[in-house]
Amino acid sequence: MRNPILVTGATGKTGAEVVLDLLEQRLPVRALVHREDERSTRLAALGAEIATGDLLDIDAVGDALADVRRAYFVYPIRPGLIEATTIFAQAGDETGLDVVVNMSQISARRTAHSDAARQHWLAERVFDWSPVGAVHLRPTFFAEWLPTNWQYADGAGLLRLPFGDGRHAPIAATDQARLIAAILANPTGHVGQTYKLHGPVEMDHHEIAAAMSETLGLPVRYDPVDTDTYAEILRAQGRPEHLIQHLSAVALDYRDGVFEGTDDTIERITGKPPQTVEQYVTANRDLFPT
């Protein structure tokens, strides 16, 4: 295939790994980055063509999509998802995009209390109405939430989260990226599908803390907090209100089982199973400072 594959969010958690995976397959990649920095310089050094632009700018998106037939679309938990999706679908229709792999999330549904989750559901519908063939991904919480929420004091790790005794199987960005790259390399049979994505082992956060403790060789404790306390923790970290509203709402979904489950999609399509929590923590030891 000579047309470049467009990867949006190319300096983010999933996008950067998708770029690396496609380059390893010797496929031509155009990486759409929000701004040029050391992350985009690294992608360029590895062989990606860099396009710089905002997903809310239809001209920039149209330029990035020139000659592109397949793309990965990802937009962060920030206001603007539906506008960015509509722009991408419209520009893709104008430029001849055939297939988009669309990052959504497991809690996406019409009745979601999270604004971002409801917007993800609407964004899926926008791609479904458009002539561009879409594959929707609905992952559970990423394994990357573990280092994001990592605290360490007095020789012990601590996870303070509002998840009660709810359960999920954390899924690493690198494993999702392998699936995304496989679909982009060969979309046959995937257009029209919605894949829920989970890691291999479903756990509650006491079990996750125990697995981290075993792997890191130090005590790790899960401290369940209520959603108001968690919102205050996030505010103290300077997190935006859109994200705080989302995480507060999906914490209740999480307790109600919306994030549960396991599946074989990544192993079936890529031939390699996704990482366990223990494997993720081992591979990313430096993300858990002590």
Ligand X SMILES: NC(=O)c1ccc[n+]([C@@H]2O[C@H](COP(=O)([O-])OP(=O)(O)OC[C@H]3O[C@@H](n4cnc5c(N)ncnc54)[C@H](OP(=O)(O)O)[C@@H]3O)[C@@H](O)[C@H]2O)c1
Taking the complex as a whole, the smallest distance from the CB of residue 172 to ligand X amounts, in Å, to: 10
The continuous run of DSSP H or E covering 7 comes out as strand 5-7
Q: Which is nearer to ligand X, 112 or 211 (by Cβ)?
A: 112
Q: Which is nearer to ligand X, 12 or 274 (by Cβ)?
A: 12
Distance CA 35, CA 80 (A): 18
Cα-Cα-Cα-Cα dihedral sign, residues 220, 226, 227, 228: negative
Taking the complex as a whole, the smallest distance from the CB of residue 286 to ligand X amounts, in Å, to: 18
Are 208 and 142 spatial neighbours (Cβ–Cβ below 8 Å)?
no
Q: Which is nearer to ligand X, 201 or 218 (by Cβ)?
A: 201
Taking the complex as a whole, the smallest distance from the CB of residue 154 to ligand X amounts, in Å, to: 28
Q: Which is nearer to ligand X, 218 or 252 (by Cβ)?
A: 252
Counting beta carbons within 10 angstroms of the beta carbon of residue 252, is it exposed (0 to 12), middle (13 to 18) or buried (19 or more)?
middle
Distance CA 197, CA 98 (A): 23
> In the block, which residue shows the tokens 């938990």?
77
Taking the complex as a whole, the smallest distance from the CB of residue 155 to ligand X amounts, in Å, to: 28
User: Which residue's Cβ lies closest to ligand X?
Assistant: 12
Q: Which is nearer to ligand X, 77 or 249 (by Cβ)?
A: 77
Q: Classify strands 167-168 and 203-204 as parallel, antiparallel or unpaired.
A: antiparallel
Q: Report the interface residues with ligand X, using CB under 6 A.
A: 9, 11-15, 34-35, 54-56, 74-77, 103, 105, 139, 141-142, 144-145, 173
Taking the complex as a whole, the smallest distance from the CB of residue 189 to ligand X amounts, in Å, to: 23
